[in-house]
């Protein structure tokens, strides 16, 4: 069962976590290759965060997914599911061979999350709803005397939603020391760049009463250090992660339209070779 004390190793094995992140990126390319398309840019961008959470920071057991002492990861941005599927399969929640069913009819691994899939805590398809659910879960855990924590990913695009800021305002009011917001700032939304002016993101979260760190979300040492800093927070903790869509695959990093990527059949071998060549 999970360790309810929530004390990850004091020193992260950064090279091992970097290797995990690279494996996750490989799984994502394999998933998207089947349908020839998917939300691969965002998935590659948050691979470092997913590796740090699932293989270092969170107290959970893939064999006991309903353990009340488990830490919870909430994926508010449901179309990032490709990254969640990669992490859950890498952890052994379901077979790696199932990843090739990504986006297929009747698959458990759709392009947005379903709560019928093992390891999924919420349905995140309607943007702007995840943080509010995270606040409710964190309150419930505290009322039950649990030391489990809630890690809620949300995107910079969701900072254009009023519901996000209502939830952000409530969490410090309730003193939720068991809540960590993971804000993926990759600068894109469905049709291109973020429409509204949302900067300065970190200062806004501080103004709402959150202890806040702003980091390079593709720097594993920075990611693990920020997560460690959240353990002893005196209230809710926000980590603003500056990530690069398509990270690890230079051709995809350079694509202007990175929200939903379609890739020609002849390109896949070259993209995989680019990833394998990365250190």
Over residues 37-81, the pLDDT tens digits come to 888 899 999 999 999 999 999 999 999 999 999 999 999 998 899
Asked whether 252 and 258 are in contact (CB, 8 A), the reply is yes
pLDDT value, residue 187: 83
We find that the CATH architecture of domain 14-277 is 3-Layer(aba) Sandwich (3.40)
| Segments of the chain with pLDDT less than 50 | 4-5
- CA-to-CA distance for 44 and 247, rounded, in angstroms? 5
Domain spans, the chain? 14-277
Helix 130-143 / helix 162-173 crossing angle, nearest 10 deg? 20
- CA-to-CA distance for 34 and 243, rounded, in angstroms? 25
pLDDT value, residue 84: 97
Asked whether 101 and 107 are in contact (CB, 8 A), the reply is yes
- CA-to-CA distance for 147 and 150, rounded, in angstroms? 10
pLDDT value, residue 256: 75
pLDDT value, residue 6: 53
Asked whether 238 and 203 are in contact (CB, 8 A), the reply is no
pLDDT value, residue 279: 83
Burial class (CB in 10 A: 0-12, 13-18, 19+), 66: exposed
């Amino acid at each position: 069962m999970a360790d309810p004390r929530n004390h990850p190793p004091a020193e992260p094995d950064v090279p091992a976590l970097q290797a995990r992140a690279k494996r996750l990126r490989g799984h994502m390319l394999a998933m998207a290759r089947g349908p020839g398309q998917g939300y691969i840019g965002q998935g590659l961008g948050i691979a470092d965060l997913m590796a740090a959470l699932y293989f270092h920071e969170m107290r959970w057991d893939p064999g006991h997914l309903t353990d009340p002492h488990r830490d919870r990861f909430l994926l508010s941005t449901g179309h990032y599911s490709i990254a969640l599927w990669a992490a859950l399969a890498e952890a052994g929640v379901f077979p790696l061979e199932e990843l090739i069913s990504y986006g297929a009819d009747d698959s458990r691994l759709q392009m947005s999350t379903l709560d019928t899939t093992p390891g999924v805590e919420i349905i995140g398809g309607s943007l702007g709803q995840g943080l509010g659910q995270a606040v409710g879960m964190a309150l419930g855990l505290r009322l039950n005397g649990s030391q489990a924590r809630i890690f809620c990913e949300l995107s910079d695009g969701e900072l254009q939603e009023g519901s996000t800021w209502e939830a952000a305002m409530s969490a410090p009011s309730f003193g939720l020391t068991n809540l960590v917001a993971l804000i993926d700032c990759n600068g894109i939304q469905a049709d291109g760049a973020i429409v509204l002016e949302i900067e300065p993101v970190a200062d806004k979260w501080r103004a709402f009463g959150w202890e806040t760190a702003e980091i390079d979300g593709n720097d594993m040492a920075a990611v693990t250090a920020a997560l460690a800093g959240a353990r002893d927070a005196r209230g809710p903790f926000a980590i603003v992660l500056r990530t690069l869509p398509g990270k690890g695959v230079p051709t995809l990093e350079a694509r202007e339209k990175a929200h939903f990527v379609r890739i020609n059949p002849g390109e896949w071998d070259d993209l995989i070779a680019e990833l394998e060549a990365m250190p």
